[in-house]
């Protein structure tokens, strides 16, 4: 009976979205894929920097301690919101990429199941906050933050279906919608004054509006999706998605637990310092979080084609790493420039935030080199060993935090994050070689490392001996970086000529 209903649903309007994408899309082409990546990155570059600068103003206006409390609540909610669908988003993305007929039959069950899980996890968030000692107005703020994040996660689930069908251009525009709305609302608050309550309210309003608009758009374009939950399908979905839920929970804890522990074990003030530095990290990492989901879908689509996975990995290594090398070097030598908007902070506070940023950007460097290996593993049914690796990293991170946070605060949190990233990344590389059976591009990794080392050496020489303004110094370092990319063989003149000819 379920099969019959599945065939019937493919005749509805939304079957145009979830039908066999193989019949409507051309053969995989690296060049076109790179163009889709470029669009997604460009749109995020247009919105994300403005959001970071606006949030800097918010923190400066409401104070480091108040923003530290908000950051702790946000990160606690983020951990639970990221796992609120119990891995259904990643599971469906992977299944649709490999089995195009999956969603037409299962989507009427997935939608209501996803909504019910959001309600359950909102209650879990509030209860968890109460157990951690939050009361009264703070608990209300947690509920508002959590509601907005759950709406965001549901919208990302809808986007996951678009990604799975390789419609990356449409997804690129959807990826910036909420941030653009939030930026506009925060800017509207500047003339009347920013408070913590107003800030949380406009964030939640932007998330709600984005969800409604996205759901209405999908319904208009592809037809109304009936909600017909079936217990057997729900059970099958949850069994298949739970490994992804575990990975998501572990990753969420690994990335977000520091802020919460700093606020609880050190002080809200220290959490504010860490938040000021981590905001820039989060903005820069948006590049990877924009690019890697596209590779996730591509890796899953080439599940049984080892040679294609190898080519994607080697291509993705340069796409993920090269742009971030210069950014990390800039922060190492001019990290203080990130906090030019903090007019109400003391020089000692700014120096502390700068040190945190430099340590955290070394963590970005590690992710730039090795995050794509995790993407390959989780998209090709190696979730369990990845989960063990991340669990080990979390255990180590919590242990180091308990020991060091009460004394060293935000700086210890940044250093602990870096140590754990190095350890877990080494595990990713080993698993890709031993379990996935995909060749690791050691020569390329060495050339990328040599490029970064040469860039830092040149930048140090410029800073020590040239005495130039920071902008002129950065321009010269950027030109040297481009030259180093060609000298080390990371980029080749022949490839550039070929790309220019193909465009013309």
Judge whether 449 lies within some domain.
no
Pick from 380, 366, 393: which is nearest to 432 by CA?
A: 380
CA dist., res. 273 & res. 409, Å (int): 9
CA dist., res. 289 & res. 175, Å (int): 11
Judge whether 450 lies within some domain.
no
Judge whether 472 lies within some domain.
no
Task: Return per-residue pLDDT of the chain as tens, 504 residues.
Answer: 333 333 333 333 333 333 333 333 344 455 566 666 677 677 777 788 888 899 999 999 999 999 999 999 999 998 888 778 777 777 776 676 667 666 667 777 877 888 888 899 999 999 999 999 899 999 999 999 999 999 988 887 777 656 555 566 766 777 778 888 899 999 999 889 999 999 999 999 999 988 888 777 767 665 666 677 777 777 877 787 777 777 777 777 776 889 999 999 999 999 999 999 999 998 898 888 878 877 887 787 777 777 888 888 888 899 999 999 999 999 999 999 999 999 999 999 999 999 999 999 999 999 999 999 988 888 877 878 888 888 898 899 999 999 999 999 999 999 999 999 999 999 999 998 888 778 899 999 999 999 999 999 999 999 999 989 999 999 999 999 999 999 999 988 766 565 555 545
Judge whether 427 lies within some domain.
yes
| SS3 state of residue 170 | helix
User: Other CB atoms closer than 10 Å to residue 125's CB: what's the count?
Assistant: 25
For residue 377, give every residue at least 6 positions away whose Cβ sits within 8 Å of its Cβ, in sequence order, or none: 383, 385, 386, 428, 431, 432, 435, 436
Judge whether 185 lies within some domain.
yes
CA dist., res. 329 & res. 374, Å (int): 24
- Tell me the per-residue pLDDT of 115-159, one tens digit each, with 9 for 90 and over: 888 899 999 999 999 999 899 999 999 999 999 999 988 887 777
Task: Indicate the pTM of the whole model.
Answer: 0.78
In the chain, how many domains are there? Answer: 1
By the 8 A CB rule, do 432 and 371 touch? no
Judge whether 68 lies within some domain.
yes
What is the length of the chain? 504
- Domain range for 166: 2-440
Give CA angle at 45 (259, 244), nearest 5°.
50
Judge whether 115 lies within some domain.
yes
CA dist., res. 104 & res. 4, Å (int): 12
Judge whether 493 lies within some domain.
no
């Amino acid at each position: 009976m379920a099969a019959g209903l599945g065939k019937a649903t493919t005749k509805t309007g939304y079957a145009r979205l979830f039908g066999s994408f193989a019949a409507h899309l051309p053969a995989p082409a690296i060049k076109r894929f790179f163009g889709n990546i470029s669009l997604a990155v460009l749109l995020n570059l247009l919105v994300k920097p403005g959001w970071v600068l606006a949030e800097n103003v918010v923190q400066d206006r409401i104070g480091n301690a108040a923003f530290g409390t908000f950051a702790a609540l946000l990160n606690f909610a983020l951990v639970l919101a990221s796992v609120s669908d119990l891995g259904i988003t990643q599971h469906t993305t992977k299944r649709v990429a490999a089995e195009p007929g999956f969603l037409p039959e299962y989507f009427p069950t997935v939608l209501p199941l996803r909504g019910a899980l959001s309600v359950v996890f909102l209650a879990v968030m509030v209860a968890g906050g109460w157990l951690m000692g939050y009361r009264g107005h703070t608990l209300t703020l947690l509920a508002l933050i959590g509601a907005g994040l759950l709406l965001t996660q549901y919208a990302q689930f809808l986007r996951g279906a678009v990604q799975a069908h390789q419609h990356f251009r449409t997804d690129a525009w959807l990826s910036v919608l909420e941030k653009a709305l939030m930026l506009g609302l925060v800017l509207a608050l500047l003339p009347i004054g920013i408070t913590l309550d107003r800030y949380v309210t406009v964030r939640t309003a932007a998330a709600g509006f984005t969800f409604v608009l996205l759901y209405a758009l999908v319904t208009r374009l592809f037809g109304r999706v009936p909600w017909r939950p079936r217990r057997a399908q729900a059970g099958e979905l949850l069994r298949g998605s739970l490994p992804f839920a575990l990975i998501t929970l572990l990753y969420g804890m690994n990335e977000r637990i520091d802020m919460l522990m700093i606020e609880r074990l050190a002080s809200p003030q220290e959490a504010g310092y860490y938040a000021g530095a981590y905001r820039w990290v989060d903005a820069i990492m948006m590049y990877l979080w924009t690019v890697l989901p596209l590779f996730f879908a591509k890796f899953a689509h080439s599940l049984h084609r080892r040679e294609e996975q190898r080519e994607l990995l080697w291509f993705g290594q340069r796409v993920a790493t090269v742009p971030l090398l210069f950014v990390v070097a800039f922060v190492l030598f001019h990290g203080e420039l990130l906090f030019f908007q903090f007019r109400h902070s003391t020089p000692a506070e700014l120096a502390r935030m700068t040190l945190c940023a430099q340590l955290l950007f070394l963590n970005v460097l590690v992710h730039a080199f090795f995050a794509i290996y995790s993407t390959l593993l989780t998209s090709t049914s190696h979730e369990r060993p990845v989960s063990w690796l991340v669990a080990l990293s979390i255990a180590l991170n919590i242990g180091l935090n308990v020991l060091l946070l009460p004394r060293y605060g935000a700086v210890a949190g940044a250093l602990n994050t870096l140590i754990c990233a190095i350890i877990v990344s080494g595990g990713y590389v080993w698993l890709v070689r031993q379990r996935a059976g995909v060749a690791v591009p050691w020569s390329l990794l060495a050339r990328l490392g040599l490029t970064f080392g040469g860039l830092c050496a040149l930048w140090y020489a410029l800073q020590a001996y040239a005495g130039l303004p920071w902008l002129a110094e950065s321009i010269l370092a950027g030109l040297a970086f481009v030259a180093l990319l060609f000298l080390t063989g990371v980029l080749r003149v022949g490839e550039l000529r070929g790309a220019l000819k193909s465009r013309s």
